[in-house]
Amino acid sequence: MRTLSKYSIGIGDRFAHQGIAQLKAVQKACEMGVLITPVWNKSFREHQVIGSDPFATRQEADDAVQRLNWQDDYFVDADHINLSNVDYFIDSSDFFTIDVADYIGKPAADADVRDFVEKHKKYVGNLQLPDLDTTLAISEQQIRTVAEKYLFAAQEAKKIYDRIASQKETVAFVIEVSMDETDEPQTPLELFFILAALASRNVPLQTIAPKFSGRFNKGVDYVGDLQQFRLEFEQDVAVLQLAVREFGLSDNLKLSIHSGSDKFSIYPIMREVIRTFDAGLHLKTAGTTWLEEIIGLAEAGGPALAIAKDIYRASLEKAEELCTPYASVIDIDTAKLPLIEEVNNWDSSAFVNALRHDINNPRYNPHFRQLLHVGYKVAAGMGRIYLSALRDNKKVIAKNVTENIFERHIKPLFI
């Protein structure tokens, strides 16, 4: 296995053109004395929509690393994989995000549930969380309930891990387990026994992505109770540290925050907690770079601005098709979307101000931003027209990409 550094960031890139600009942001942190490992992540769904393949992501990462002479570790993540698509990523990836959300709630064998409960009955009572004035009250029935809900998912994670390991016998890699795309958040107690189940099956995870309360909508800020998030995040960090000691998991086990880009209101909370606990963190971003491409095109003006407007027009026309796959992670009020006739009259500044995530700008429109976030399929359909625009306006786009990742994401969390 390879060891992921304390801090890491998933830098998704829909069209595989911004690898250098993304890595420059990470380099800036390194120059300030903070090592953050870059992880280029892209899901099977994104590859299918774009018409790309994992090898292109590997090429993008390798090229950026070579051209910028990056001397530290980096990874390419097979994001949200399962048994049906893991083989697609085997050759190109060295980081695998095993998504077990679809297996949660499916029953494990009765004998397996009984064995799990028997093995972990020693935790019945009050379990003290490290460095917190907090205990988890645990009953035998609660352990059974967690096993009935999550044990099958842990068993499936093991199958997927074994599939990866069997084909990468001589290549080291990192394992993440994700369960964020579910209806209900996992409690700290549930997370503790989920980790127990994964450890008992020798799944060597280094990061885990639970679901938290509140909304983690794509491309916009967190929506929810900040104090509740603080409580959950703090207790989950403590649970991970306890699980490392109790179950022999990796010493660098850390939380992974999915749909983590642009969650500006919770960054100060996470920063404070990880510093208090001396804990690591993996922040996973994806569409924020794609949106910076559109912002860059709009800033460039002329034909590039026209392309940005065309993408919005087509996204508005195909809104239902584009939004349906992301229904659980977007909240768009169509009444607040600007009419295409209005957008057609916008200059560069008006378009950028509506799209750039700046809540202090009165023209910022989170509904406009969310629609364009899921509108990358439209750009993919443009083929060479869009890709040529990226190349022709490379300088202005790259500036936006680097500044966005460093100033709005890395600095508030890690520096």
Q: Which amino acid would we find at residue 320?
A: E
d(CA 388, CA 138): 59
List the binding residues: 80, 218, 258
Task: Spot the catalytic one: 46, 77, 79, 293.
Answer: 79
Of residues 48, 45, 57, the one with CA closest to residue 10: 57
Burial of 324-354, coded b for 16+ CB within 10 Å and e otherwise, reads eebeebbebeeeebbebeebeebebeebbbb
Of residues 316, 314, 310, 315, the one with CA closest to residue 298: 310
Contacts of residue 171, defined as CB under 8 A and 6 or more positions apart, other chains included, come to 94
Task: Spot the catalytic one: 46, 60, 77, 176.
Answer: 176
List the binding residues for a divalent metal cation: 80, 218, 258
SS3 170: coil
Residue 208 phi/psi, 5-degree rounding, is -140, 140
176 noted as active-site residue: yes
**Residue 56: Cβ-neighbour burial (10 angstroms; 0-12, 13-18, 19+):** middle
Q: What crossing angle do the helices spanning 302-317 and 384-392 adopt, rounded to 10°?
A: 140
The residues carrying an active-site annotation are 79, 176
